[in-house]
Amino acid sequence: MNRMRIAFGLCNTLMDVYEENYIESRLRPGAVDLLKELKRDGHILILWTSLKKRKVNFVKALFKDFFKLFNEIYCYEDFDLLEKIPDCSEHQFKNIERISADCLIESKKNYREYSNNLSLSKKYLIIDKYRECLYRQPSNWKIRVLGEEVFDAWQKRIQNREEWVYDVLSFVDKMSVL
């Protein structure tokens, strides 16, 4: 397996960050084990977040061991993310070429279109957003207002909560042979 430079987004990708009260921030289930496995395989791990350094430092203080898993950390101030996307306009976009990364795992759905328009789509894995609140059992009130399907959706999320880890590992395996 080739050693790769693998970049990850932070908010809604590896963690649910509560900017109003950082102490309530939560790591995505399976995130630490995934990063440790990739590290054991010799990959360089990069955290690339749209948060400002000041905010990252608050979260970093709460999750020291998690942040130690990364070889490099980039924040909002480190790069101008505004990029002219062909067949679009200018958008905030984490272009992996700026940090010499081989790939990016991110939860921003619009990155699928942007990376495709830049002929980089094979190097971007867009995963479902992680929100800790979606893993809490819906209240009776919420079920009454939104219907039974909210309960069914919750059960499905609980059942598949770490499936994203398999998706990332499969993506990295495919990338390493390119």
User: Is there a domain that residue 158 lies in?
Assistant: no
User: Is there a domain that residue 13 lies in?
Assistant: yes
User: Is there a domain that residue 80 lies in?
Assistant: yes
Q: Is residue 126 predicted with pLDDT exceeding 80?
A: yes
Q: What is the mean pLDDT of residues 7-30?
A: 87
Q: What is the mean pLDDT of residues 14-28?
A: 84
Higher pLDDT, 100 or 89: 100
User: Is there a domain that residue 56 lies in?
Assistant: yes
Mean pLDDT of the chain: 85
Write out the chain in H/E/C secondary structure. Answer: CCCCEEEECCECCCEECCCCCHHHCEECCCHHHHHHHHHHCCCEEEEECCCCHHHHHHHHHHCHHHHHCCCEEECHHHCCCEEECCCCCEEECCCHHHHCCCEEEECCCHHHHHHHHCCCHHHEEECCCCCHHHHCCCCHHHHHHHCCHHHHHHHHHHHCCCHHHHHHHHHHHHHHCC
User: Is there a domain that residue 91 lies in?
Assistant: yes
Number of domains in the chain: 1
CATH number of the domain within which 112 lies: 3.40.50.1000
Label residue 141 by pLDDT band (50, 70, 90).
confident
User: Is there a domain that residue 83 lies in?
Assistant: yes
Label residue 20 by pLDDT band (50, 70, 90).
confident
Q: Give pTM, 2 decimals.
A: 0.81
User: Is there a domain that residue 107 lies in?
Assistant: yes
User: Is there a domain that residue 147 lies in?
Assistant: no
| Enclosing domain of residue 114 | 5-131+165-176
Q: What is the mean pLDDT of residues 77-84?
A: 78
